[in-house]
Amino acid sequence: MSPKIAFGRPDEQEAFVESHRLFFERFLNLQAALNIAFRREETTSGLADMVVFFLGRLCVEDFTEILLLCGNGYGMEAMKLLRGMYVTGGDRALPGCTS
């Protein structure tokens, strides 16, 4: 019999969910919107559409990782990812902006 292995910090997860209850009450709406936007067949008409789609998808993945880190008490590590998410989704999406 293999040992029971758990990942994460249950005490931090519980505190995070409790302190952000409103977010989690509405999280299913966010998840549904993300599924509509990003879990679909590729229907882009050109390179620019593909770039925008995949930059958006990277932001979704970054957000998920940030949520995982915050939910386990690793807020400072989440801030490091947040900076990269801003660069990917905000700064680079604006014409004429450079990092």
pLDDT score for 90: 65
| Average pLDDT rounded to a whole number, residues 28-57 | 86
User: Please, are residues 46 and 72 in contact by the beta-carbon 8 Å criterion?
Assistant: no
How far, in Å, CA of 14 to CA of 21, rounded? 10
Percent of the chain with pLDDT over 90: 51
pLDDT score for 34: 92
Tokens of 17: 């969910």
| Average pLDDT rounded to a whole number, residues 27-44 | 87
Q: How many residues does the chain have?
A: 99
Report field, pTM of the whole predicted structure over 0.85: no
User: Please, are residues 71 and 12 in contact by the beta-carbon 8 Å criterion?
Assistant: yes
Percent of the chain with pLDDT over 70: 88
How far, in Å, CA of 56 to CA of 44, rounded? 13
